[in-house]
Structure 1
Amino acid sequence: MDQADIPALLSRLASDEDAARKMAVFKLQSSINDPAFADVFISAGGLIILRRLIMTAGGNTLAYSLQSLTRVLEVDMGWEIFEGPTAGDLVERIVELVVTNPLVNILRGAMSILVALVSHSQSAPAPTSPTTSTAGTLGAAKAPGSFGFRALKPAVAVYPQFFGLVIQQLHSADHSLCANALMLINALIRDAVSNEGGQQRDGASGAGKSASSGEDWPKFIKKLQDLGLIKAVFNLMQSSALQDLAHPLLEFQSLTKLLLRKWKEVKVDVEKPEHRRALKGLHLSSAPSRDLKDLGSTNPIARIEELLENGKKGSRKHNPEKWRRLGFETESPAMEFEETGFLGMMDLTDYVRRNEDNFQKMLLEQSTKPLHERCPIARASLAVTLTLYEHFDCDKSDWEDVRGYQLTDADHQDKLFRPLILQWSRIHTAGLHAFFRLWKATGAEQSDFDKVAELMRILVEQVIGQAGRTKDVMEVEEELFEYECSRLRELQMELLELSFENQWGQHLYQVRDVLKQEALTFIKEQRVRCLLQGSWFQKPAPRKESRAAADAAANGGGPGGVGNRRAANGTLWRYVKLSHNRRYLHWADFALRTAQEPSLDSLAEKIDLRTISSVVSNVSTTSNDDAKSGVSDPTLKMQPNGNGLGGAAGGTKHLAKITIFSFVESDSNGHLSDHDDSEHPKEQPLLTLHPINHSLASEWLDGLLMLLDQSPITSETNKMTKLVEDYGMKIRLLNVRMEAAYAGPPPGAGEVPSREGLDDDYWYDI
């Protein structure tokens, strides 16, 4: 609309005909967000006519009028409409519309105006002159108290149900109305916590304290919470309407962090009545004396006031462990809230109030234990408060991260929106119960408090940190209480290793190399000791076509005769043992497996280890299924290999097979004959072993390979080597103290000693 049409527009706005006014204000709402148009409109007295429409009109005319005022305020103009003696009537009219009007389009416009009115107190400069206004001037001087919550307070006094109805709109199916209601709540909270000092100064003029004064803002916040604000916003954060409400929801989450930060910054002072009552309530809830046994379900705070009024002295008896029995370190509890401030006291008193019976039972249970084994309940509560405060980054505003994320991505939404912060009290209680469980499960003592607190921090990161946006808070509470302690220890060691690797990466790699060699040496000795102990092996039954050959061999002489006759009928047992000097492999065949292990002298056959050229097997080197199930397969799986050495036939189960080879025609000293010294000498099998289970196959295959100075190949041996290596690393990491990690080298470390007075005459004492 052209600026030249403004006089005609104003004439139609002031018309007595409703249709003319409706059409005029409909056009006005689409043009007034142009600053040049708005300047001329205001100069021509348009705000007076617009105010009259808001005060008297109804239906769509009223909705368009409210929208027009909203848009002119968005360009930071027209604020003078809220100044002067009639400003209060206009604000009351808008509050009345929020309370009484059911039309969505009117509610949206009314709430948008109130959002602008409350928010303007945080951006407008302080007035420097008496209340005067010039039409068309941006940022005109304002009367004290014209904006912020103070502007709404008289109207809210007339309509005390205002806050409840605004919060009720958070359940509206209209996302735009829901967003406007949440923005209004955000503006009220922001004004309450940000202008506390200025509002107190303004109160000296006689207007009195408002809900945004430093003394009353916690009461104002509690009033909103009691009306169901937290539950309503929590449901919105987990709903599918997140995209339409992203901006106000993120602002509310940021304001929640601000409130937590402000409560943390409030110092606990026993001179303040509220703080003193809270501490006294903690003491009374622990049932310290006979006078308080009749409390039952009575409110401890009310009981305190009753005792003070009646002048009873019984509860004032001094107990030398009055506060230490509750889990404080000293008898001056106010000092121990230094880190957490009033937030820590709120969390502790809220836990005691909601779990008074459990609190008293736990105190009684702890009193039966030695002092150093007792779980300090108060310290645990403060530790959980700090853990949650750090986990949710309460010192950091969410607005710092918004630009880097796309709200349409579900993963980014889970990173940005953290509805569990709105369930602070429940999460703190669940975390405290988890702390008690960790304390008991680990058998901790008071000197281990920091270690349990570290486990608690890892638990919070795993459960709360990985919880999705839509995860129910009850599931989170259950996971916190049921999470396996052993898994927490594993995560702790992994995190500790990563932190040290970042700090000491090069040194850790060197330590790992040393530990790997030590682990290999240890496992080699273990495997060789298995060979020194000796083992039974079993051959599969021969094929039918080889029966004749077996029978012929059975008629022959020699030490294998009895065993061969047994082989013709079924199973052949073979016993193998390494000699004490680790140079010879002794073995013999037996018809039956005896309970007593054969002696080395009874083993007629032997193999000189120097003559062994290779050891070949069909044993699987991966054994993935065994690794997953943790159960050894007694028959082992077949692993084909390039040498064509498959399992022996003759049964439904395929046995593992280990074959020891030697070069052809080697002399007694283990050297090849001259005519066989070729580039590729031939090999012949010396001994074949059929282990009866996976462990035995791993022991003998890798043991033989290690005796030949080769690397082990089976998964079982490699896992054992890795396990020994990891344990060695963990032991070294646990022996490193934090002060040693960051305090630098001790004095004198790294200095090269002087060689003054020394000569070249030295030797090693072996």
Structure 2
Amino acid sequence: MDQADIPALLSRLASDEDVARKMAVFKLQSSINDPAFADVFISSGGLVLLRRLIMTNGGNTLAYSLQSLTRLLEVDMGWDIFEGPAAGDLVERIVELIVTNPLVNILRGAMSILVALVSHSQSSTSRGAVPAVPGSFGFRALKPAVAVYPQFFEHVIAQLRSADHALCGNALMLINALIRDVVSGDAAAAAAAPTTTAGRGGSSSTEDWSKFIKRLQDLGLIKAVYDLLQSSALQDLAHPLLEFQSLTKMLLRKWRDVRVDVERAEHRRGLKGLHLASAPDRQPPGGVTSDEPTEGARKGSRRHNPEKWRRLGFETESPAQEFEVTGFLGMMDLTDYVRKNEDRFQKMLLEQSTKPLHQRCPIARASLAVTMVLYEHFEVDKSEAEDLKGFQGLDGTKNSDKLFRPLLLQWSRLHTATLLALFRVWKATGAEQADFDKVVELVRILVDQVVGQAPRTKDVAEVEEDLQEYDCGRLRELQMDLLELSFEDQWGQHLFRVRDELRQEALQFVKEQRIRCLLQGSWFSKPMPRRDTQPTTTAATATATHNRDDSSSSARRLYTPTPWRFARLSHNRRFLHYDDFETRPPQDPALDVLAEKVDLTTISSVVSNVTGPSEGTAAPDARSAASGNSTINNNNNKGHALPAGTAPPTSTTKITVFSYAHPPETATAADAGAQSPNQPREVREVREAPVLTLFPLDHSVASEWLDGLLMLLNQAPITAETNKLVGLVSEYGLKIRLLNVRVDAAYAGPPLGAGVVPSREGLDEDYYYEV
């Protein structure tokens, strides 16, 4: 619309005909957000007409009028409408519309105007401007109207459940503006107050904003916003929701900044409530309240208990001092837990009072520690600007869980659930008071795992259940992993060398263990010929079978069933003794009973179908024919002897030891001299022949003997079982070394005085070396 048309527009706005006014204000809402047009409109007296339309009309005319004023305020113009003597009536009219009017388009416009009205005081303060009439903007501008319509806040919060996302967003923005104005306004008032008034931490201002926040919470604000954060409307309401989340952090910071002072009535009532809820008159069985009860306690005296506060878990008898770190936030969390779990609180105090002092779980101290764990987990000290920056970097809904934290709004329930989890960890680990910090670290890891990794849509009840059921052993593993990562980040190369050294030590340890299994000896099965095979083997056949079955036994053995084979390494670790038996005797045979032996220096390779840790990971010097997992039908390898005549179980696991049939070093000197010096040396073909075959009775024996033989030959182990054992031993060694290092040693740097060259002041050259 052209500026020349403004007089005609104003004429129609002042018309007595409703249709003319409606059409005029409809056109006005689409043009008034032009600053040049708005300036002429205001200078021509348009604000008076616009105010009249809002005060006297309804329906679409009213909705268009509210929208026009909203757009005018968006270009930061028209604020004079709230500074005249009739401004209070206009604000009351808008509040009335929110309370009484059901139309969505009217509610949207009314709330948008109030958002601008309340927020303008903050923008004016930030620019250093002073409103012409004090109290024209901010929450104070709404107070008279809210006094007339006390159900105003209830109606605003009810709109958070509206199906219209625009209306829902406007309602949340209004609540955000009110909270920010109340908190910042009281903070400014406290800062401007004389020292004598603010000497107690600005108690009056703190109570004002605290009461306002509590009033909103009692109306269901937290539950409504929590549902929005978990709903599918997150993207449409992202900015107001993120602002509310930041305001929640701001409130937590302010509560923490409030110093606990027993001179303040509210704080004194809180401490008194803690004392009374602990049932101080109840005595534990036997009347034992400490390791060394006082004389008055023994006689059942009703005088002041010298452990009035320490029995609740405080470290001293001056509890206010112990809220130094958590501030009033810590007191709120502790009193809230006690109030909602009074019976459990009293029962736990009775249970703790029967234990020695050093074994008691300090309830109050634990509650304060949990407060700080949650405070740090949610990064409450993180500024709002950093949150907004993180939101701008999000890619649609994919990463919204990283920024939007609905569980932050369930602070009280999370505190209680985490505190109960701390009690459970304390009991499960058998902790003592000297271990308090260690238990807190475990709880910190628990919160990171359960709360930190919970999806945005996960209900708080499920989170509470997970906190109570999380395995303490798993927590300990996570703690060790995190400790290792922290040391690895700090000591990178040093830790790499330590890990490598420990792996070499673990290899030597496992090698000795495997060789000791060979020194002890083991029983193996031996495949028997088929029953329909006739024993008509000739001498030549016997010789061939001897070579093929790696057996140097006499031909007599070919006709006698010998289903058992026992093998044992000699004490000097040079020979592998073995023999075959018809039955398995009660006692393992000694070395001198075993008729056959293999010289380990002649072994060329060991081949087996025992599977390695993964395909293709066998050592380069070892030949491993991986043919799938072995099928073992019996694990009775090192158990008691079987009855005579009992055949060994069938085994498909096979270990074959090969030796050179014609080793190159056996060539005679004559052969060597027969060659001319200039003639190329003849390359003999190296052939291998099996000298021993073993069929282990179970996979563990197969792993022990295969890797034991390979390690005797200075080759790397190849089975998964041995490699897992090596990794286990090396990791335990690393963790033991890490546990022997104080945590602060990784960050504290060298001790005081380290590296300082001693002074030679007062010394001369009259010295000698004692040899």
1:742 Cα deviation from its structure 2 partner: 3.1
1:672 Cα deviation from its structure 2 partner: 5.9
Equivalence for 2:329: 343
Within a 5 Å distance, the mapping from 1:578-593 to structure 2 comes to 578-593=569-584
- The number of equivalent residue pairs is 698
Q: Which amino acid aligns with 1:720?
A: L
Query: Aligned with 1:411: secondary structure?
Result: coil
Equivalence for 2:689: 684
Between the aligned partners of 1:346 and 1:316, the Cα distance in structure 2 is 30
Superposed CA deviations along residues 203-226 of structure 1, whole A, max 9, x for unmatched, are: 99xxxxx99944310000000000
Unaligned runs of 5+ in 1: 129-138, 205-209, 292-313, 625-630, 637-649, 762-766
Which residue, out of 246, 261, 266, partners 2:253?
261
Equivalence for 1:68: 68
Equivalence for 1:731: 736
Superposed CA deviations along residues 588-616 of structure 1, whole A, max 9, x for unmatched, are: 00011222101111001111111111111
1:126 Cα deviation from its structure 2 partner: 8.8
CA contact (8 A) 1:573 1:591 kept: yes
In the alignment, does 2:708 pair up with 1:713? no
RMSD between aligned residues: 3.2
Q: Which amino acid aligns with 1:592?
A: T
Query: Aligned with 2:266: secondary structure?
Result: helix
Query: Aligned with 2:605: secondary structure?
Result: strand
In the alignment, does 2:139 pair up with 1:149? yes
Q: Which amino acid aligns with 1:693?
A: D
Query: Aligned with 2:245: secondary structure?
Result: helix
Query: Aligned with 1:577: secondary structure?
Result: strand
Q: 1:140 to 1:452 in 2, by over 3 A?
A: closer
Within a 5 Å distance, the mapping from 1:357-396 to structure 2 comes to 357-396=343-382
Equivalence for 1:641: none
Equivalence for 2:625: none
Which residue, out of 559, 582, 587, partners 1:596?
587
Query: Aligned with 1:616: secondary structure?
Result: strand
What TM-score, normalized to structure 2? Answer: 0.85
Within a 5 Å distance, the mapping from 1:254-403 to structure 2 comes to 254-289=246-281, 317-403=303-389
1:540 Cα deviation from its structure 2 partner: 2.5
Which residue, out of 218, 235, 239, partners 2:231?
239
1:407 Cα deviation from its structure 2 partner: 5.2
Between the aligned partners of 1:603 and 1:212, the Cα distance in structure 2 is 97
Q: What percent identity do the matched residue pairs reach?
A: 71
Equivalence for 2:104: 104
Equivalence for 2:54: 54
Equivalence for 2:468: 481
1:523 Cα deviation from its structure 2 partner: 0.5
Between the aligned partners of 2:658 and 2:651, the Cα distance in structure 1 is 21
1:248 Cα deviation from its structure 2 partner: 0.5
Query: Aligned with 2:607: secondary structure?
Result: strand
Equivalence for 2:632: 634
Q: 1:716 to 1:66 in 2, by over 3 A?
A: same
Within a 5 Å distance, the mapping from 1:443-458 to structure 2 comes to 443-458=430-445
Which residue, out of 438, 450, 454, partners 1:463?
450
In the alignment, does 2:169 pair up with 1:179? yes
1:371 Cα deviation from its structure 2 partner: 0.7
Between the aligned partners of 1:163 and 1:707, the Cα distance in structure 2 is 83
Query: Aligned with 2:691: secondary structure?
Result: strand
Within a 5 Å distance, the mapping from 1:118-137 to structure 2 comes to 118-125=118-125
Between the aligned partners of 2:649 and 2:2, the Cα distance in structure 1 is 98
Between the aligned partners of 2:313 and 2:478, the Cα distance in structure 1 is 28
Q: Which amino acid aligns with 1:273?
A: A
Q: 1:671 to 1:448 in 2, by over 3 A?
A: farther
Between the aligned partners of 1:369 and 1:554, the Cα distance in structure 2 is 80
1:43 Cα deviation from its structure 2 partner: 0.4
Q: Which amino acid aligns with 1:54?
A: I
Equivalence for 2:642: none
In the alignment, does 2:500 pair up with 1:503? no
Between the aligned partners of 1:658 and 1:546, the Cα distance in structure 2 is 25
1:81 Cα deviation from its structure 2 partner: 0.4
Q: 1:69 to 1:63 in 2, by over 3 A?
A: same
In the alignment, does 2:657 pair up with 1:660? yes
Superposed CA deviations along residues 525-555 of structure 1, whole A, max 9, x for unmatched, are: 1001000000001123335786546798899
Between the aligned partners of 1:219 and 1:551, the Cα distance in structure 2 is 108
Unaligned runs of 5+ in 2: 195-201, 284-299, 616-628, 635-646, 673-681, 761-766
Q: 1:751 to 1:682 in 2, by over 3 A?
A: farther
Q: 1:613 to 1:197 in 2, by over 3 A?
A: closer
Between the aligned partners of 2:235 and 2:6, the Cα distance in structure 1 is 39
In the alignment, does 2:478 pair up with 1:491? yes
Between the aligned partners of 1:90 and 1:68, the Cα distance in structure 2 is 15
Which residue, out of 229, 244, 252, partners 2:244?
252
1:84 Cα deviation from its structure 2 partner: 2.1
Superposed CA deviations along residues 291-324 of structure 1, whole A, max 9, x for unmatched, are: 9xxxxxxxxxxxxxxxxxxxxxx99942111111
1:141 Cα deviation from its structure 2 partner: 4.4
Within a 5 Å distance, the mapping from 1:685-700 to structure 2 comes to 685-700=690-705
1:66 Cα deviation from its structure 2 partner: 0.4
Query: Aligned with 1:329: secondary structure?
Result: coil
Between the aligned partners of 1:352 and 1:588, the Cα distance in structure 2 is 76
Q: 1:8 to 1:213 in 2, by over 3 A?
A: farther
- Larger RCO: Structure 1 or Structure 2 (Cα < 8 Å, ≥ 6 residues apart)? 2
1:411 Cα deviation from its structure 2 partner: 3.2
Q: 1:105 to 1:506 in 2, by over 3 A?
A: same
CA contact (8 A) 1:111 1:180 kept: yes
1:259 Cα deviation from its structure 2 partner: 0.5
Equivalence for 1:522: 509
Between the aligned partners of 2:143 and 2:514, the Cα distance in structure 1 is 84
CA contact (8 A) 1:551 1:565 kept: no
Superposed CA deviations along residues 695-739 of structure 1, whole A, max 9, x for unmatched, are: 001100111111111111111111100100000000000000134
Between the aligned partners of 1:285 and 1:407, the Cα distance in structure 2 is 47
CA contact (8 A) 1:635 1:694 kept: no
Query: Aligned with 2:696: secondary structure?
Result: coil
Q: Which amino acid aligns with 1:453?
A: V
CA contact (8 A) 1:149 1:211 kept: no
Between the aligned partners of 2:112 and 2:740, the Cα distance in structure 1 is 62
CA contact (8 A) 1:566 1:572 kept: no
Between the aligned partners of 1:48 and 1:558, the Cα distance in structure 2 is 120
1:559 Cα deviation from its structure 2 partner: 5.8
Q: Which amino acid aligns with 1:429?
A: T
CA contact (8 A) 2:525 2:649 kept: no
Equivalence for 2:159: 169
Which residue, out of 220, 225, 229, partners 2:217?
225
In the alignment, does 2:522 pair up with 1:535? yes
Q: 1:747 to 1:395 in 2, by over 3 A?
A: closer
Q: 1:744 to 1:244 in 2, by over 3 A?
A: closer
Q: 1:203 to 1:737 in 2, by over 3 A?
A: closer
What TM-score, normalized to structure 1? Answer: 0.86
Equivalence for 2:764: none
Between the aligned partners of 1:77 and 1:47, the Cα distance in structure 2 is 10
Q: 1:212 to 1:246 in 2, by over 3 A?
A: farther
Q: Which amino acid aligns with 2:272?
A: K
CA contact (8 A) 1:665 1:673 kept: no
Greater alpha carbon shift after TM alignment, 658-667 vs 573-582: 658-667
Between the aligned partners of 2:263 and 2:82, the Cα distance in structure 1 is 42
Equivalence for 2:296: none
1:195 Cα deviation from its structure 2 partner: 1.0
In the alignment, does 2:19 pair up with 1:33? no
Q: 1:211 to 1:515 in 2, by over 3 A?
A: closer
